[in-house]
Every structure is written in structure tokens, then in C-alpha cells.
């Protein structure tokens, strides 16, 4: 190790203190000292230390929570010096085990301390080099994506932003449709005007009409005041209709009229108002299929689908999974100092294998929870809640895989049809008798035993 590494010594060791500082200085260390935790905090801000010694013995440092905060934030290795009897304290023992690379009771062995601190410096330098070599992904419009399919999404966003036609954004739940809609607005000539989102699935039909078009005072019971609808509120800007597939059929007609004529009529109003709004829409359902089944008007679909952005699910962007996980890890670690340093290789491997039905929203939630739950330095599969699923994927025979798939299909169909066996059997293309037999085989109760869910496999 190159000498003159900076060593921070916190607390006092009593009579041995001066000797320790002198000997460590003789060995080539650049030692700075802090008698209190407050001083230690300022020393860490002032200078680039590479290793630390906490003298917990007889030093008046009893605020272990603050010790923990300081050690965690410092991003370097520490050793503790203390008197033997203090090891009776279980809280102190846990703190030592969690935070320090080593401890020494008195009388201290200075050669050993020197050796341990040299290791600490090497580890710190290794970590710094590793961190420097990691190229953090650049987020375009707040979206991280490195695979060709995402580059295509970014390119499409850039292009469609410049024209004024409606854009339909498709993609599974949590893939970033709203983020893409905002990006289109922010890059468009309308960027300085409002961007308004309406979730068409969140309100009942009776309310969504007034939400979109507004109403006049007295238009219906309870309309005690005039209300400007969201279309009018977005005038000059962009209206993002999320979950457009959930818009009731009767309102689809009104929306179509607005898109064709650029005018609206508040409920209860006689006059039509001209409104200049660009409409973006999205849904996680297959809108083409909804059109086929007569649940969505074809003419409205074509009006909305003039330009299209299609965001692929996370499982189809394998190379992005680890990059996104690290991106959010770095983001959350900045918000709150935590002991955790990164992901274990096993956790990364399982993240790549997992199906991510909730896409990036699910990834964010799992990473955030794992960072809080993690008790060691590296996030493990259990912290992410992925272990059980993964073990199923690893060591199973073909027969077990088939059983698993059968069971998932049964659970899905039964849930979708609220346990109506006849309907579930029709969907699965089996007779009722066969369905009962399969339910028995997979121990799926006829009613809601097992609170049927996919994780029940």
C-alpha cells in the first residue's frame, strides 16, 4: 500500500492514545483525530479518509445509533478498540458485528492494527475503482433503456413529439407509458402549456363524463357549481388519457366527436366550446382485441392510434434488468444512508430469470424493499422476495413444470370467472368433470380456499 493514507481516529483510548497515534504516524499513516462524534462528522466532511478506528473504550461515546450513522455514511472500513468487559453488552456486540471489520480489546497490538488498516485501505481503493469503472446509464426523458428496442422507443418519442397528431402508447402495466407521454409533451411545442392526465379506469362512467367535459351549475343533482372539465383545463397543452380501454362505450362517442370537431359541450350547456388540445392515450390491455370483441369503437381506435409508441415488457429487455436495478439502487441509497452495498450475484441472476409481471414499477418496489430489509452488505434473493419462485425455476423436472403451468392456468381461469366452474372450464377448453378432477389434483378448493393466487404454486 502506498503510505500516507489518511486514517481517522475517533474517541479516546486513555493513556495509550498518544502512543498509538505516534506509532501509526511512524508507520507512515496520516492520522487525524476526533474526540467527539460531532468532530468526527466534520472531519469526514473535510477530508478524504481511507480507514477509521473507533475507540469505544471509556470514551464517553454511548450513542451507538450515531456511531452507526457515521460508519455507514463514511463508506470506508473501521475497526473498534475497546475494553474487554464491555462485551457483556448485547447491543454493543451487535453493533460491533454489523459495522466493524475487526475489534481489539486492550492492550492493543499496534502492528496488528497497522496491518488491518492497510487491508481496509486496499478494500476501499478496490471499491472506488470498481465504482469508477461502472458506467451509469444515461436516462433519456427520465427513462433508462439500453437495448435496441428501447432506443427505438426513444427515437419514436423524439419524432412524434414534434408533430401534433394523437399518439397511442401501448405496453403492459408499469412499463413506463405515462413517463413516455410526459416525455412527448415536454419535447413538443406545447411543452409550456399544461399536461393533464385522466385515468379513465379510475372513475365510474357517470363521473368520468363530467371529469372530461365539465358541467354547468345545476346540470344534475349535486352540480352546485360550474366545473371546467379536464379537456378544457388542458387547453393549449396535452391531455393524456390513461387506461383508455376502460372508457365506457357511451363516452367513447363523445370523445370521438371531440377528436373530430375539436369542440366540447359541458354537461348541461347549450353552447359548444372550441378547445385546442393534443390527445395522447394509453392502455395496458390489447385494444385491437377489445375492438374485435366490440368493447371499443373501431373509429375511435383509429383516431387515437394515428402515431404509436410500443413499450416492450421488462422481461423482453433482459440486459436492462440489472442496469435498472443498479440505477434505482443508487437513487435510493442517496436518499437514505444504508449499510447495503449492492446486489449479490445470486440476486442478479434471479432478477434476470424472473418474469416481472409488474414490470419496472415492480422492480422499483422490490429493490426499495430489499434495501430496507437487507441485513447484510449485499441484497440476497430473499430480500427481493424472489427466492421461492426462483427455486421452482431451477430444480424441476418437466413433469413438475407441466403441473406448475396447469395449476397457474387453472387459478387464472377460476379467478377470472369468480369461481364459476362452467365458465372456467369453457375458457380452458375442458369439460366440467375434467376441471373438477384437475382442481382436486392441484388441491384448489371449490370456493376460495387458499385465497387462490398465482403465488400459491
Q: Which residues bind ligand ATP (CB under 6 A)?
A: 143-145, 171, 173-179, 242, 284, 360-361, 364
Q: How far is the CB of 308 from ligand ATP (least distance, A)?
A: 15
Q: How far is the CB of 168 from ligand ATP (least distance, A)?
A: 13
At residue 238, the 3 state secondary structure works out as strand
Nearer to ligand ATP, 174 or 214 (CB): 174
Q: How far is the CB of 209 from ligand ATP (least distance, A)?
A: 21
DSSP 16-44: GHHHHHHHHHHTT-EEEEESSHHHHHHHH
CA–CA separation, 412 and 418 (whole Å)? 10
Nearer to ligand ATP, 139 or 207 (CB): 139
Nearer to ligand ATP, 61 or 183 (CB): 183
Cis-peptide into 107, omega within 30 deg:
yes
Q: How far is the CB of 367 from ligand ATP (least distance, A)?
A: 11
Beta strands in 90-204 (DSSP E): 102-105, 167-170, 195-199
Q: How far is the CB of 428 from ligand ATP (least distance, A)?
A: 27
CA–CA separation, 16 and 18 (whole Å)? 6
Residue of 281, 304, 311 lying closest to 155 (CA atoms): 311
Nearer to ligand ATP, 368 or 442 (CB): 368
Nearer to ligand ATP, 71 or 324 (CB): 324
Exposure string for 399-436, b = 16+ CB within 10 A, e = fewer: eeeeeeeebeebbebbeebebeeeebbeebebeeeebe
Max Cα–Cα distance, the chain, nearest Å:
92
Q: How far is the CB of 364 from ligand ATP (least distance, A)?
A: 6
Q: How far is the CB of 387 from ligand ATP (least distance, A)?
A: 24
Residue 273's beta-bridge partner residues? 264
* Other Cβ atoms within 10 Å of 441 Cβ, number: 12
Q: How far is the CB of 228 from ligand ATP (least distance, A)?
A: 25
* Cβ atoms of residues 312 and 171 within 8 Å: yes
Nearer to ligand ATP, 118 or 281 (CB): 281
CA–CA separation, 321 and 348 (whole Å)? 9
Q: What single DSSP character describes residue 429? A: T
Q: How far is the CB of 436 from ligand ATP (least distance, A)?
A: 36
Q: How far is the CB of 41 from ligand ATP (least distance, A)?
A: 33
Q: How far is the CB of 325 from ligand ATP (least distance, A)?
A: 11
* Other Cβ atoms within 10 Å of 209 Cβ, number: 20
CB neighbour list of residue 90: distance below 8 Å, 6 or more residues apart: none
* Cβ atoms of residues 61 and 54 within 8 Å: yes
Nearer to ligand ATP, 202 or 228 (CB): 202
Nearer to ligand ATP, 24 or 314 (CB): 314
Nearer to ligand ATP, 30 or 365 (CB): 365
CB neighbour list of residue 147: distance below 8 Å, 6 or more residues apart: 317, 318, 319, 320
Which triple of cell numbers denotes residue 257? 366527436
Nearer to ligand ATP, 361 or 417 (CB): 361
Q: Which residue is nearest to ligand ATP (CB)?
A: 176
Residue 381: which region, alpha, beta or left (left: phi > 0; alpha: psi -120 to 50)? alpha
Nearer to ligand ATP, 104 or 173 (CB): 173
Residue of 29, 10, 119, 118 lying closest to 68 (CA atoms): 10
Q: How far is the CB of 246 from ligand ATP (least distance, A)?
A: 11
Nearer to ligand ATP, 291 or 363 (CB): 363
Could you tell me how many residues make up the chain? 457
Amino acid at each position: 500500500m502506498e503510505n500516507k493514507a489518511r486514517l481517522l481516529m475517533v474517541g479516546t483510548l486513555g493513556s495509550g492514545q498518544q502512543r498509538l497515534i505516534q506509532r501509526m504516524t511512524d508507520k507512515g499513516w496520516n492520522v487525524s483525530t476526533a474526540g467527539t462524534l460531532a468532530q468526527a462528522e466534520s472531519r469526514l466532511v473535510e477530508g478524504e479518509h481511507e480507514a477509521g478506528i473507533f475507540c469505544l473504550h471509556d470514551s464517553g461515546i454511548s450513542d451507538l445509533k450515531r456511531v452507526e450513522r457515521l460508519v455507514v455514511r463514511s463508506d470506508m472500513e473501521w475497526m473498534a478498540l475497546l475494553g474487554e468487559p464491555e462485551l457483556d453488552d448485547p447491543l454493543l456486540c451487535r453493533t460491533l458485528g454489523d459495522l466493524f471489520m475487526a475489534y481489539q480489546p486492550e492492550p492493543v497490538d499496534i502492528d496488528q492494527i497497522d496491518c488491518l488498516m492497510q487491508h481496509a485501505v486496499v478494500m476501499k481503493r478496490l471499491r472506488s475503482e470498481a465504482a469508477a469503472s461502472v458506467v451509469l446509464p444515461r436516462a433519456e426523458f427520465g427513462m433508462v433503456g439500453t437495448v435496441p428496442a428501447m432506443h427505438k422507443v426513444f427515437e419514436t418519442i423524439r419524432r412524434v413529439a414534434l408533430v401534433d397528431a394523437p399518439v397511442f402508447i401501448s405496453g403492459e402495466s408499469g412499463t413506463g407509458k405515462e413517463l413516455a407521454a410526459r416525455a412527448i409533451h415536454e419535447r413538443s411545442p406545447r411543452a409550456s402549456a399544461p399536461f393533464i392526465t385522466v385515468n379513465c379506469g379510475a372513475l365510474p362512467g357517470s363521473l368520468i363524463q363530467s371529469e372530461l367535459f365539465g358541467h354547468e351549475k345545476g346540470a344534475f343533482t349535486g352540480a352546485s357549481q360550474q366545473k371546467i372539465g379536464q379537456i378544457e383545463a388542458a387547453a393549449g397543452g396535452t391531455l393524456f388519457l390513461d387506461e383508455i380501454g376502460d372508457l365506457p362505450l357511451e363516452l367513447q362517442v363523445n370523445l370521438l366527436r371531440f377528436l373530430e370537431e375539436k369542440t366540447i359541450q359541458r354537461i348541461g350547456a347549450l353552447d359548444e366550446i372550441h378547445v385546442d388540445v393534443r390527445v395522447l392515450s394509453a392502455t395496458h390491455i390489447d385494444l385491437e382485441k377489445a375492438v374485435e370483441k366490440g368493447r371499443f369503437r373501431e373509429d375511435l381506435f383509429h383516431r387515437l392510434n394515428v402515431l404509436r409508441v410500443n413499450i416492450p415488457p421488462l422481461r423482453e429487455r433482459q440486459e436492462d434488468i440489472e442496469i435498472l436495478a443498479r440505477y434505482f439502487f443508487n437513487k435510493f441509497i442517496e436518499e437514505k444512508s444504508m449499510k447495503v452495498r449492492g446486489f449479490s450475484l445470486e440476486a442478479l441472476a434471479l432478477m434476470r430469470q424472473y418474469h416481472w409481471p409488474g414490470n419496472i414499477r415492480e422492480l422499483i418496489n422490490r429493490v426499495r424493499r430489499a434495501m430496507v430489509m437487507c441485513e447484510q452488505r449485499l441484497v440476497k434473493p430473499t430480500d427481493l422476495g424472489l427466492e421461492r419462485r426462483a427455486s421452482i425455476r431451477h430444480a424441476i423436472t418437466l413433469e413438475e413444470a407441466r403441473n406448475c403451468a396447469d395449476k397457474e392456468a387453472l387459478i387464472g381461469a377460476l379467478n377470472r370467472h369468480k369461481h364459476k366452474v362452467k365458465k372456467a372450464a369453457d375458457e380452458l377448453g375442458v369439460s366440467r368433470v375434467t376441471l373438477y378432477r384437475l382442481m382436486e389434483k392441484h388441491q384448489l378448493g371449490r370456493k376460495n380456499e387458499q385465497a387462490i393466487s398465482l403465488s400459491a404454486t
